[in-house]
Amino acid sequence: MTDTIESRLAASNIVLPEAAAPAANYLPYVITGNLLFISGQLPMENGAIAVKGLLGRDVDVAAGQRAAELCAINILAQTKAALGGDLERIVRLVKLSGYVASEPNFTDQHLVINGASNLIANLLGERGKHARAAVGMACLPLNAAVEIDAVIEIG
């Protein structure tokens, strides 16, 4: 088996879901030039939000990291849909922007978003090294604990 993103997904026992349809008036992704912009992805699993609530009140860091991993999996699912199924067209993940629903005194947003960063780095290797933001929010759509969007260079 060659070392591809798909083989790394399989080795990690990750099956990408169908790309989620937009929940409002926006596109799930936009391609302009060699950049792919993925709209914010929620921690969806089996068609439902898997991790809900505020970090520091309802959700601990480990569950928040799992939410971020699910967001990253959904980013890859949207990427696969945008690229006609060919994840090898990813040149580099340029930036992840992570939003963490948090209590006002919660300050470990960066640790939560590491769930996504670590997963992406493992699956994409050098192509997965990225710039990042990790921001606390008062709340997120559908009471999701985490939302993440991405900018990806494609070939």
56-85: pLDDT as tens digits = 999 999 999 999 999 999 999 999 999 999
Q: Which domain holds residue 77?
A: 40-154
Report whether pLDDT(101) > 60.
yes
SS3 2: coil
Q: Round to whole Å and give the CA distance between 99 and 149.
A: 9
Average pLDDT over every residue of 24-49: 96
Residue 109 corresponds to which amino acid?
A: Q
Please indicate, yes or no, if residue 18 is contained in any of the structural domains. Answer: no
* Mean pLDDT value across residues 6-20: 94
105 lies in some domain: yes
**Is 45's pLDDT higher than 90?**
yes
Contact (CB, 8 A) for 145 and 100: yes
Is residue 122 situated within a structural domain?
A: yes
**Total domains, the chain:** 1
Examine the pLDDT at 1 and tell me if it is beyond 70: no
Q: CATH no. for residue 109? A: 3.30.1330.40
Q: Measure the CA–CA gap between 2 and 99, rounded to whole angstroms.
A: 35
Classify residue 38 by burial, with Cβ atoms within 10 Å: 0-12, 13-18, 19+: buried
Task: Phi first, then psi: give them for residue 49, nearest 5 degrees.
Answer: -70, 120
Q: Classify residue 111: in a domain, yes or no.
A: yes
Burial of 133 (0-12, 13-18, 19+ CB in 10 A): middle
What's phi and psi for 102, nearest 5 deg? -140, 150
pTM summary value: 0.96
